[in-house]
Amino acid sequence: MNADQSPDVRLVVSCHEPASARISGWMSLPRIGIRSVLRTGSHSRGFSLLEAIAAVALLAIALPAMFAVFSGAVSRASLVDARHDLLRRAEDLVAITKTGFVGRFGRTSGSDATARWVVETTLLVDHEENARRDARVIVPVHIKITIESRQNAKVELETMFLFREQDR
């Protein structure tokens, strides 16, 4: 290190060039890198006005976009929770329909303070074919439950079960 150089500045020396070429090459480097190396010893007192205005402008652009993303995520999460509750209620309606089924097919509906529902039961075999069968046959029954909350969340659940016709 030369005596006239500050301790923060370091020269990169290559072994393939003569010393005179190395020193003159160092002086012709672009100023952008030298300034940052030479300023490391100086004390900065804060941000300039231009830097502060740029930061505020970036925040003014980024914060509304982030707010829109997060509020959309919250509304989607509440819709998922509402659908989950409706699905659980639809599964309960399926269990009630299976246990209380007496062989009547058709459509029934109901409602309460939070939701309204429709339960449709249909026989999965043709009625004429069913009449030709023995009375003690097990037949497949299709159940379709549509349940909708007061907040317009909607769930449809379809399933089937086997019903023993002798129990009619």
pLDDT tens digits, 140-168: 889 999 999 988 889 999 999 888 765 44
Residue 168 is predicted with a pLDDT of: 45
pLDDT in tens, 24-72: 555 555 555 444 444 555 566 788 999 999 999 999 999 999 998 888 8
Residue pair 164/138 in contact by the 8 Å Cβ criterion: yes
pTM of the model: 0.53
Cα(127)–Cα(56) distance, rounded to whole angstroms?
A: 74
| Structural domains present in the chain | 70-167 (3.30.1300)
- The strand pairing partners of 68, in sequence order, are none
pLDDT in tens, 94-133: 999 888 888 788 999 999 888 999 999 988 876 666 666 6
